[in-house]
């Protein structure tokens, strides 16, 4: 079907006096909407009214009003038609039917429509048929007014009688046939806002006469009664819009737009809870809380007993070192005395300070002074490889078992790397303390691992590495089984790591047991240790 230079593509809608088509402008290729008169309505009166609409809409240029591009007459029938801007989207009537409108969206759309009407009213043009079917929501969510089919110049409207428009959205002055102005459009817009916010119209009935009677006399139910989440200020806005006397309404659309924007800034009111449901939920929480308290009272003795028998921590060991061996030759200097002392028996010159003290201790200064002295290698069986040289020898403990001190023992190298400098590190073998040192002295080794050697008997041993806090309370402990044999490295590597992630701080303990080590099994008896046991007292 062809209409002038426009190719008709499909029918969009059909009203009482016109039909709207989607068409393409063959001259410039633009998609447009064409509005034509219905068949049989092409008499002179309708043609004049139709052309009046063209002249009115052609004067309006607003982003919220559908634009008029062209006007013409059908050559075959002589019927006039309007060529308007084609909007892709849906009408507000279609959106309301889905029930997917939010109050905040209603405020924003209402403010935009009120400003568009204010623009038309300033030019002496009223719409006369504001309703959801004449409001379009485009793909970008913009709201636009279309179909100024009944709109006329304000000076002409008082000279024409008859009831025009959709009855449910008419203003009282339209029903009574008295002169109207822009405030009549604001009354109709108030009905649209009421429907958007509550889901129903304020005036509803099965006949035109009954609807008109409600508009003229019925009392309006406040919208907050139907939707409790709406702010109370919205009731006042709609009361002004739907006032039966035009003098009691907003004087123009700008005032209504400002009022709606103020309501949009108010927070939504939470929906009131049902008392019966609230009471039942409160009662349920009360019983649950009582049951939880009773359970905690019953479990408290069990928890105390479990802590007493299973989580009791051993006391922190004190770092003790043997006194230096007296020189056999009183004429030897102190350096000669240190050089002649057997390896593994070098002792600190002063007692170690408590773990919580920081700074450079006398023992650490003595240990650094010993680094410059050549150190003899410990005597080991010919079948055993030589242990790694000690980069930072440490004092040896005097409290070692007889089997560890015997010449037939196997040397076990203890290598310690640490970033933390607070606390004490201790090593136990078969529940006997074989070595301990403050972490401050280990951290002073200039980035090199701290190494020392202790001698244990050949065969299996239960090893334990414990990290104590500055107040001598246990921070962390790791246990394992080790098999010490000739010909293996027998290296006990200990890494004390200190981490800081955001606001969380922590100290970790990583232990690599000597070659041939194995975790103890739970089924080894009552004295067996838990496999890969780790006790933490963070």
Report pLDDT digits (tens) over 60-112: 899 999 998 888 888 777 778 889 999 999 999 999 988 777 888 899 999 99
In a 13 Å sphere around the CA of 430, the CA atoms on its Cβ side amount to: 15
If you average pLDDT over each of 149-153, 393-397, 510-514, which comes out highest?
510-514
What integer pLDDT is reported at residue 386 of this predicted model? 45
pLDDT interval class at 536 (50, 70, 90)? very low
pLDDT interval class at 116 (50, 70, 90)? very high
Say which range, 122-131, 359-368, 411-420, 443-452, has the weakest mean pLDDT.
359-368
User: Which position has the higher pLDDT, 149 or 184?
Assistant: 184
User: CA dihedral defined by 302, 304, 309, 314, rounded to 10 degrees?
Assistant: 160
Q: Within its chain, how far is the Cα of 487 from the centroid?
A: 58
What does the angle CA 429 – CA 430 – CA 432 come to, to the nearest 5 degrees?
Answer: 65
What integer pLDDT is reported at residue 28 of this predicted model? 94
Reference 493, options 514, 473, 478; nearest CA is: 514
Judge whether residue 160 has pLDDT over 70.
no
Q: What average pLDDT does this structure show over 500-528? A: 55
Percent of the chain clearing pLDDT 70 (strictly above): 66
Number of H helices, E strands in the chain: 15, 18
CA 481, CA 464: separation in Å to the nearest integer? 9
Q: What is the pTM of this model?
A: 0.50
The tens digit of pLDDT for each residue in 288-325 reads 877 888 888 888 777 766 656 555 555 555 544 444 44
* Catalytic machinery residues: 129
User: Which position has the higher pLDDT, 79 or 456?
Assistant: 456
pLDDT, averaged across the chain: 74
Judge whether residue 447 has pLDDT over 80.
no
If you average pLDDT over each of 222-231, 294-303, 408-417, which comes out highest?
222-231
With DSSP H G I counted as helix, E B as strand and the rest as coil, what are the percentages for the chain, rounded to 5?
35, 25, 45
What is the helix (H) or strand (E) element at residue 122, kind and residue range?
Answer: helix 103-122
What integer pLDDT is reported at residue 333 of this predicted model? 38
Reference 367, options 342, 389, 345, 348; nearest CA is: 348
What integer pLDDT is reported at residue 39 of this predicted model? 57
User: Which position has the higher pLDDT, 72 or 396?
Assistant: 72
Interstrand relation of 491-501 and 410-418 (parallel, antiparallel or unpaired): parallel
């Amino acid at each position: 079907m062809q209409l002038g230079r426009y190719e008709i593509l499909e029918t969009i809608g059909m009203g009482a006096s016109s039909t709207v088509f989607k068409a393409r402008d063959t001259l410039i290729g633009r998609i447009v909407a064409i509005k034509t008169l219905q068949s049989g309505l092409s008499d002179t009166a309708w043609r004049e009214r139709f052309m009046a609409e063209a002249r009115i809409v052609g004067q309006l240029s607003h982003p919220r009003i559908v634009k008029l591009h062209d006007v013409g007459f059908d050559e075959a029938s002589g019927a006039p038609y309007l060529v308007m801007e084609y909007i892709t989207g849906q009408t507000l009537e279609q959106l309301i039917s889905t029930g997917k409108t939010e109050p905040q969206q209603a405020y924003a759309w209402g403010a935009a429509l009120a400003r568009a009407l204010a623009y038309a009213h300033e030019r002496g043009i009223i719409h006369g048929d504001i309703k959801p079917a004449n409001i379009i929501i485009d793909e970008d969510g913009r709201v636009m007014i279309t179909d100024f089919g009944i709109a006329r110049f304000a000076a002409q409207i008082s000279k024409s009688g008859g009831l025009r428009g959709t009855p449910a959205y008419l203003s009282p002055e339209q029903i009574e046939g008295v002169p109207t102005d822009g405030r009549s459009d604001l009354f109709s817009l108030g009905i649209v806002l009421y429907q958007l916010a509550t889901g129903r119209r304020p005036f509803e009935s099965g006949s035109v006469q009954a609807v008109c009677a409600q508009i003229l006399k019925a009392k309006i139910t406040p919208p907050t009664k139907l939707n409790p989440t709406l702010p109370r200020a919205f009731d006042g806005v709609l009361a002004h819009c739907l006032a039966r006397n035009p003098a009691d309404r907003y004087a123009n659309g700008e005032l209504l737009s400002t009022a709606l924007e103020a309501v949009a800034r108010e927070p939504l009111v939470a929906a009131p809870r049902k008392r019966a449901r609230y009471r039942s939920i409160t009662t349920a929480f009360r019983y649950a809380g009582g049951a939880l308290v009773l359970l905690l009272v019953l479990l408290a003795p069990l928890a105390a007993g479990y802590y007493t028998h299973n989580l009791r921590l051993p006391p922190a060991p004190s770092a003790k070192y043997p006194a230096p061996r007296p020189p056999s030759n009183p004429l030897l200097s102190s350096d000669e005395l240190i050089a002649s002392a057997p390896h593994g028996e070098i002792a600190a010159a002063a007692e170690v300070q408590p773990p919580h003290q920081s700074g450079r201790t006398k023992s650490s200064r003595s240990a650094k002074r010993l680094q410059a002295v050549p150190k003899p290698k410990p005597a080991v069986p010919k079948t055993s490889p030589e242990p790694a040289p000690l980069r930072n020898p440490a004092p040896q403990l005097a409290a070692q078992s007889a089997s560890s001190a015997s010449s037939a023992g196997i040397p076990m190298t203890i290598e310690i790397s640490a970033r933390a400098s607070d606390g004490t590190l201790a090593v136990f073998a078969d529940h006997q303390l074989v070595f301990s040192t403050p972490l401050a002295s280990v951290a002073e080794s200039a980035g090199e691992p701290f190494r020392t050697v202790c001698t244990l008997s050949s065969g299996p041993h239960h090893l334990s590495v414990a990290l104590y806090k500055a107040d001598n309370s246990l921070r962390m402990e790791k246990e394992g089984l080790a098999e010490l044999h000739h010909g293996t490295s027998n290296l006990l590597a200990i890494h004390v790591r200190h981490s800081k992630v955001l606001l969380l701080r922590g100290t970790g303990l990583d232990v690599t047991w000597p070659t041939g080590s194995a975790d103890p099994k739970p089924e080894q008896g009552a004295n067996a240790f838990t496999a890969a046991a780790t006790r933490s007292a963070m």
